[in-house]
Structure 1
């Protein structure tokens, strides 16, 4: 399991490194201008429908069900996968045919605050980006098939390929002075990646063409529907939240749309470096495990994630402006871009460790096919976050995005720890984590920050301080029975 984690972590780290290069080049070439905002909305216009129809379908409907059929026979499992594969590919083609004629309406829904000029740029980009949809979906499906056979190569290189496509597109667009080339380059890269993945799968004899009988197809459809039925509402809340978030950003100004994406990138990268590879391992290795062992693994992951991510949360909360300036304030990206991005990013930092924990708990729900609880908790968190965005809107400034994200994460976390009977310990860990963030901000107030050297030294001090105190979580985790003796809910020696 550790080897698989390192494989995924290395691929994930490489993709995030390339993602940093991507965001740096985008900021350098386009800053937070209207062109950058048009590009961000065009990208969202592609990935929102993809995630709406396929993200949970592949996560919850592929590996757990595939592993179940594989216990019966490999042929039956492959027949199920082939049915699912062609189904999601048809969804991809359907999305292309549907979005193309309504591209302008779709962009206006995502960013009603855009000017006509910016909207037309975004529509032009979107009409090229959508060609890549079937290939992105197909590559994702093949990645899940490879994971079922113990290979994490596709899942590791897929994000890097996406980033390389955008990086190449930025450079060509900058040379040719036309951002349209970015959309073309990205689309070509996704077609090439899909073809390479198909060749890889066939070379391993994992994709044998064994089309199911009509009777088997009905059984597969019934099984898939049973698995996905509790998740029907989740994509509506998830992608609806993203649409509302982008629309509220456009109500500030077009620059805020670009700044929001950069802030989300920094926050999500800090979280995803650890949480995503661990989450895939939870899904791939626990699907066929007994529940007792799965809870034991999650028990260990809980403390480790906090130990690794709380220092990053502290650094982002305390030094958001310095980090954004250091990473992105070059070329077209100016001081205004730094102000907009850091104002959004600062509150996002509080949520990093919460969303990382949620990711593990949600993957465990997928593995146990407890999708009703997964859907309810996530949907409720997104609903509260969306209500906050709509209700508050622009009245409290740019921090509205961070507070909405925090409300979303905290709601989901409390519901999930209650479901897994971690509530008492979860609350203790949550309070302890917030205390570390607060003390880190207090410490930063006593440290100088006038020069680059001052900022680097104070950033290191914050990381060191929060790392030491986060390490106490690991120490206290070894003696968790002391806390549980007060709560009187220890079962089988594990947190409950």
Structure 2
């Protein structure tokens, strides 16, 4: 699992560097106004229905079963792939048509606070983005086929390709004045990624028949029915999850539109910072966990989690402190140029503060949920997600008139905390996690106090605050024997072990 995690992590770095360039360029050229808000709404309107039907179906329904079949009955793995591919083809084509025909009504429902001109721009962009739906869905399937073979290349190239497309589209939209071109930055990369995915899985022979023999006899119609039945058996407990998850995202977008166009645009600028951390930590951990924990014996799962959680906590807690205490400085450093004015800085920093409060819990919660998926405990996953996202949506609806933009971030953090607590309880590591958190609490308070005193306007104070937090944090862990053994030595062992494997030792 460690090897897969670091490969996903290193592959995501390039994509995040390009993603930062994309967001900085978008902020400088278009600020946090109606064009950016329309683009955010259009992409959300495209992704919500896609993820509503496919996200859990693929990651939690298809992948674990495909891995199991590859080990036990290789021919059935190919049958499962072909069956799921046929279902996704029909679904994605129907969805693309539905989005094209109903784009105006869908935008009005998702973002009721938009003014008519912004809503019109968003509907135009949605029509363009909808063209990429079949390619997006099939590429997701190809990435999981690769992951089942411990190949993360298709996952790693996605963020870079998407960011390059959006950078090119941003420049074209600004230079030509045709703002709808922003949406082609989503569509064109996924058409190209889909074509490359087809080429890659065939070149690597991942879709060959039994034991790599393409001429091996595949199961008959009864085999296809069995594959579909097993897929449905794994997927059925998850049907509630997309309703809750995508509903929560829809509520967040609707609340943002009611708070103003700038909040819609600024939400994604703040989310980019937090999502970058999630993409570099939580997503690799979760995906690696799907492949690794699925192969573990039942009695080894808790032990594997006890080895995994300490270094994750050690990294994510100071990260959360840094983002919270320096939200204004970080937003100013990244975005405050060109059309991105002081109002945009203030709103984005407020949102970042709220999101960052619970980033440590979100990373761990996401990872634990994926472990539950890998163990086939999908009904319990539905419980975790229902609690987490219902709470987030409820907080957004109840508090947005009182807390304003901060509500969006705080609601997401509360949802992440609940996801962590409930999933840890179900996996039998809640007590262990709480003991670790309690041991870290004094260091958290000390590091936070110093970081707060050093924080302020300007790059120098931003750097001083970040370094102060890190020094106090590492020093606290080094002074206490229990923490030194649990965190520092554990991380060192993992890093040296990885280096030894790379060098062939």
- TM-score computed with the length of structure 1 as normaliser: 0.92
Is 1:358–2:345 an aligned residue pair?
A: no
Deviation at 1:51, TM superposition (A): 0.9
CA distance in 2, matches of 1:160, 1:342: 26
Query: What per-residue deviation string (whole Å, max 9, x for no partner) do you get for residues 373-417 of structure 1?
Result: 111011111111111111112212221112211221122222112
Deviations 1:241-289 (A, max 9, x none): 0000011111111010011111111112123212211221111122122
From 413, 417, 420, the equivalent of 1:410 is 417
CA RMSD of aligned residues (A): 2.0
Is 2:249 the counterpart of 1:246? no
Change (3 A) 1:448 1:202: closer
Unpaired runs of 5+ residues, structure 1, are 481-496
Q: Does 2:462 correspond to 1:455? A: yes
Number of matched pairs: 480
Q: Is this contact kept in 2: 1:251–1:394, CA < 8 A?
A: no
Aligned-partner Cα distance in 1 for 2:125–2:254 = 18
For the pair 1:182 / 2:182, whether they are aligned, the reply is yes
Q: Return the alpha-carbon distance in structure 1 between the equivalents of residues 299 and 150 of structure 2.
A: 23
- Residue 53 of structure 1: how far off its partner (Å): 0.7
Deviating more after overlay: 187-196 vs 81-90: 81-90
Distance 1:96 1:434, change over 3 A: farther
Corresponding position of 1:103: 103
CA distance in 2, matches of 1:292, 1:177: 60
In the alignment, structure 1 residue 331 sits paired with structure 2 residue 309: no
Q: Deviations over 1:35-63 (max 9, x none)?
A: 11000000101111111110100001122
- TM-score after normalising by structure 2: 0.90
User: Please, which moves more after superposition, 414-423 or 210-219?
Assistant: 210-219
> What residue in structure 1 maps to residue 68 of structure 2?
68
Q: Please tell me whether residue 26 in structure 1 is matched to residue 33 in structure 2.
A: no
SS in 2 for 1:188: helix
Give the distance between the partners of 2:82 and 2:297, measured in 1 at CA: 27
Match of 1:258 in 2: 265
Structure 2 unaligned spans of 5+: 210-216, 488-505
What are the Cα deviations for residues 182-208 of structure 1, in whole angstroms up to 9, with x where unaligned? 222431221111101101111122224
Select which of 208, 225, 246 maps to 1:218: 225
* Contact 2:14-2:160 at 8 Å conserved across structures: yes
Partner of 1:52: 52
For residue 397 of structure 2, what is the aligned residue in structure 1?
Answer: 390
The answer to whether the 8 A contact 1:307-1:474 is kept is no
Q: Is the 8 A contact 1:329 1:335 kept in 2?
A: yes
> 1:50-449, aligned counterparts within 5 Å?
50-208=50-208, 213-432=220-439, 436-447=443-454, 449=456
Asked if structure 1 preserves the Cα contact closer than 8 Å seen for 2:75 and 2:218, the reply is no
Further displaced range: 35-44 or 85-94: 85-94
1:450 deviates by 4.6
Please give the alpha-carbon distance, in whole angstroms, between the structure 2 residues aligned to 1:411 and 1:294: 21
Q: Report the Cα distance in structure 2 between the residues aligned to 1:435 and 1:27, rounded to whole angstroms.
A: 38
Compared CA separation, residues 288 and 344, structure 1 to 2 (3 A) = same
Task: State the distance in 2 between where 1:437 and 1:48 align.
Answer: 36
Once the 2 structures are TM-superposed, how far is the Cα of residue 112 of structure 1 from its aligned partner? 0.4
Distance 1:216 1:470, change over 3 A: farther
Cα offset, 1:12, TM superposition: 1.2
Local SS of the residue matching 2:402:
coil
